[in-house]
Copies of this chain bind each other. A is one copy, B any other.
Amino acid sequence: MGKDVRESDADVLSGAVGVGLIGFGTIGAGVAKVLRDNASVIEQRLGFPLRLARIADLDLETDRGVDVSGIVFDRDTEGLIADPAVEIVIELIGGYDVARRFMLAAIDAGKHVVTANKALLALHGAEIFAAADAKGVDVAFEASVGGGIPILRSLREGLAANRIESLHGIMNGTTNYVLTEMEKTAEDFDVVLKRAQELGYAEADPTFDVDGIDAAHKLALLVGMAFGAKLTYKEIPTEGIRGLTPVDFEAAEEFGYRFKLLGIAKSRSEGGEERIEARVQPTLIPSDSLLAKVDGAMNAIAVHGNAVGPTLFYGAGAGELPTASAVVADLMEIAREIRRGRAGRVAPLSYAPGELREKPLVPLGELEGRYFLNFTAADEPNVLAHITGALGEHGVSIESVLQKRSGEERGSVPVIVLTHPAREAHVRAALEAIDALEDVTAPTRLVRVEEEL
């Protein structure tokens, strides 16, 4: 090892910036591949090379399909962090506790950190960014949102002149794959999920993805970057896609919409106070919108700025090489700033995480829009009259109704209603009354419609 450190020292003198990788799984292997395969283009763009000096992982045996010769590869994470040949530490082990400890240790050692760990930042971001601020090092995390899509950079730099008005993002490839398949095949959620697991599009435990938690992690980071608002993912109302059934997709198509699991955030200023609307939910969006065309495991984030108007950023939201593309972009930015001799935070943030401010959230009851309501009702003559009557009593008027006579459960039928624009509090009050009706046999499913895309 002593020999390798000496080689690394030579590199520092000759201009290479040394990098250490903690976590040699799928993304870690991708980073090693990109650094190796694209070494010449990286050096051309930077003016000097990046050198992967060390890798630390518990598993030293598995073949990752990438040549690690010349790289110190062991289990010694502390040694990696302390190694003077390592100027930037890449954290790619994921999870909360161990990753947090390694990241704080790297910061404490004065190392810049690049990570893809949205879960950790969405929960412990405040602590980590404060530590980085105190040490004058950077924590870059482009890979944590939208995989290879440079969405954080675009908010931070390209759209920096804008007051961001709204974000609508397909930010989880697993759920987008499942929704696309359900729409295409008219199969049940469980059937499609099982196939997605077999094909490697979904994890054995799909909770984080299908319940919207992963998207909420990412939305929390986007909200900070776009609105300067301090928000942890736990504050974001989050709903997954488990409840959707083939009849929902059939009705949506008839109404001219498609289902997407969206992370949505908007800034609302009224009377001088800015409030943030943030939620993760299955959403109906117009079939002819660009976001509706994003199929399979791809991601896209639509951003509306007050100067630029509507924009959209599309690409692979996960995967070995796309995620590595974002990690290495962060490495390049930090490395360039290191060579420029800048000591402080190197990646200027549109809003530095340390400067995020608490901003009140808009309660869901205040939302206004069309609502897609799927009632499970007894197959009785008057049920539609009861439902529409209760909606009317709460001031919710109906745009379209679809009543299916082919409910699978004997004696119960789905009744699907698309409302005219209404206030969510009124819709919810109506649903409370309707779900208490004798001929409504299961809780009503409410899906919000977003038109302005």
**Measuring CB to CB, which residues of chain A are less than 8 angstroms from any residue of chain B?**
30, 34, 37-38, 41-42, 44-45, 142, 148-150, 153-154, 157-163, 228, 288, 290, 293-294, 300, 305-316, 319, 321-322, 324-329, 331-333, 336, 340, 342, 348, 350-351
A331 to B307 alpha-carbon distance, docked (Å): 15
Q: Which of these, B41, B161, B310, B313, contacts A329 with CB under 8 Å?
A: B161
Residues of B within 8 A of A315 (CB): 308-312
**B333 close to A321 (CB less than 8 A):** no
Closest to A350 in B: B45
Residues of B within 8 A of A331 (CB): 161
Shortest beta-carbon distance, A91 to chain B, in Å? 18
A21 to B42 alpha-carbon distance, docked (Å): 36
**A161 close to B42 (CB less than 8 A):** yes
Residues of B within 8 A of A44 (CB): 228, 351
Residues of B within 8 A of A30 (CB): 307
**A157 close to B153 (CB less than 8 A):** yes
**A325 close to B308 (CB less than 8 A):** yes
**A308 close to B316 (CB less than 8 A):** yes
Interface of A is mostly: mixed
Residues of B within 8 A of A348 (CB): 336
Q: Which of these, B38, B288, B293, contacts A163 with CB under 8 Å?
A: B38
A326 to B154 alpha-carbon distance, docked (Å): 11
**A38 close to B307 (CB less than 8 A):** yes
A157 to B315 alpha-carbon distance, docked (Å): 16
A sample of 22 cross-chain residue pairs with beta-carbon separation below 8 angstroms, ordered by A number, consists of A42-B160, A44-B228, A148-B308, A150-B158, A153-B154, A154-B158, A158-B326, A159-B325, A161-B325, A161-B328, A162-B325, A290-B290, A290-B314, A308-B316, A308-B322, A309-B316, A309-B321, A310-B315, A310-B316, A311-B313, A312-B314, A313-B313
Residues of B within 8 A of A149 (CB): 158, 308, 311
Closest to A294 in B: B290
Residues of B within 8 A of A324 (CB): 161, 307
Closest to A328 in B: B161
Contact A351 B45, CB 8 Å, known A38-B306, A154-B150, A329-B159: yes
Closest to A142 in B: B158
**A325 close to B350 (CB less than 8 A):** no
A109 to B154 alpha-carbon distance, docked (Å): 31
Shortest beta-carbon distance, A17 to chain B, in Å? 14
**A150 close to B159 (CB less than 8 A):** yes
A333 to B340 alpha-carbon distance, docked (Å): 16
12 extra interface residue pairs, beta carbon distance < 8 Å, beyond A45-B350, A161-B326 = A42-B161, A44-B351, A148-B307, A148-B309, A153-B158, A157-B332, A161-B327, A161-B328, A290-B293, A309-B315, A312-B313, A312-B315
